[in-house]
Amino acid sequence: MGTVRYLEIAEELRREILSGAYPVGARLPSESDLAARWSASRGTVRQAVATLAAEGLVRSSQGARRIVLRHERRHSFGELNSFAQWAEGIGHEARSRFLSRTRRPATAEEAERLALAPGTEVLAVLRLRLLDGQPVMVERTAYADWVAEAVEAMPEDCRSVMDGLAADSGVAAHYGEHLIDALPAGSEDARLLEVRRGSPLLRQRHVSATRTGRPIEWSDDRYRAGSVTFSVSNSAVAAPLERHPGGGGER
């Protein structure tokens, strides 16, 4: 429950920052005040604020109250924000549709990525993601056996699998390794994304795991060209990978 609670607190604080309730340069209330407001522990509040710090909305430093840096939301793959949260946070309508959900033995790569014994059954999911009604991404995901039943029970138009797992099963994801490359659209991708066969697609593969490191999913996400861009913002502390709407160029 505590894990889901900090996501709720982070979302509420995020809304207040983006609405201008806390102007740029303002300090957030102290951890004690925030904990009292939500009847939560200081540790839970600290996790919530750390999520906003990783997004670049606030500056976080030990022993000091957090300062609001900006009113623009970025999505860091170092954090657990879903595709739907990212899209809606920047003013887009996010929708999705399960196209297939099939139980089958894991491939060698899936078993390795999900830390499963060879041949363990996984749930293979094909899903189409849309922004403002336009198809932008085809998602092929292998879910570990221990979350397969929960994913199978989700509605066909489930907004976010990861949000659903967090809310219904208490399973919160922390993204791990990301691999990014480009590849030509095959027949299925071309049909789903409404592009010509052979058109360039941006592919992002990643493992999602729990806080304890237990893998949840291994996903292969293929984006229509021009729908999103990825950027890395360097600093002396970290270089978070971020996703932006298409056309923004590189940073």
Helix 31-38 × helix 2-19 angle, to 10°: 110
**pLDDT, one tens digit for every residue, the chain (251 residues):** 444 788 889 888 888 887 788 887 888 898 899 999 999 999 899 888 887 776 667 876 555 567 776 555 444 444 445 777 777 766 678 899 999 999 999 999 999 999 999 999 999 999 999 988 899 999 999 999 999 999 999 999 998 898 889 888 888 877 667 788 999 999 999 999 999 999 999 998 999 888 788 999 999 999 998 777 665 554 444 445 555 565 543 33
Look at residue 54 in the predicted model and tell me its pLDDT. Answer: 66
Domain boundaries, the chain: 2-73, 83-245
Half-sphere exposure of 111 (CA within 13 A, CB side): 11
Look at residue 108 in the predicted model and tell me its pLDDT. Answer: 95
Q: Residue 72 contacts by C-beta under 8 Å, 6 or more apart in sequence?
A: none
Look at residue 193 in the predicted model and tell me its pLDDT. Answer: 95
Q: How many whole angstroms separate alpha carbon 149 and alpha carbon 146?
A: 7
Look at residue 130 in the predicted model and tell me its pLDDT. Answer: 92
Label residues 23-62 b or e (16+ Cβ within 10 Å = b): eeeeebeebeebbeebebeeebbbbbbbbbbbbbbbebee
Look at residue 180 in the predicted model and tell me its pLDDT. Answer: 87
Helix 145-152 × helix 161-169 angle, to 10°: 100
Domains 2-73 and 83-245 in one fold = no
The CATH number of the structural domain formed by 2-73 is 1.10.10.10
Look at residue 248 in the predicted model and tell me its pLDDT. Answer: 44
Contact 156, 191 (CB under 8 A): no
Q: Which of 144, 175, 226 is nearest to 54 (CA)?
A: 175
Look at residue 131 in the predicted model and tell me its pLDDT. Answer: 86
Look at residue 75 in the predicted model and tell me its pLDDT. Answer: 47
Whole-structure pTM value? 0.65
Contact 196, 190 (CB under 8 A): yes
Give me the residue label for tokens 């932006």.
244
Homologous superfamily (CATH) for 83-245: Chorismate lyase-like (3.40.1410.10)
Q: How many whole angstroms separate alpha carbon 229 and alpha carbon 77?
A: 13
SS3 for 170?
coil
Q: From start to end of the chain, where are the E strands?
A: 58-59, 67-68, 75-76, 94-105, 121-131, 134-143, 174-184, 200-209, 215-224, 228-232, 241-245
**Residue 182 bridge partners (DSSP):** 202
Q: How many whole angstroms separate alpha carbon 99 and alpha carbon 22?
A: 41
**Phi, psi (rounded to 5 degrees) for 216:** -105, -45
Look at residue 237 in the predicted model and tell me its pLDDT. Answer: 43
Contact 137, 221 (CB under 8 A): yes
Look at residue 159 in the predicted model and tell me its pLDDT. Answer: 87
Q: How many whole angstroms separate alpha carbon 166 and alpha carbon 66?
A: 26
Look at residue 110 in the predicted model and tell me its pLDDT. Answer: 96
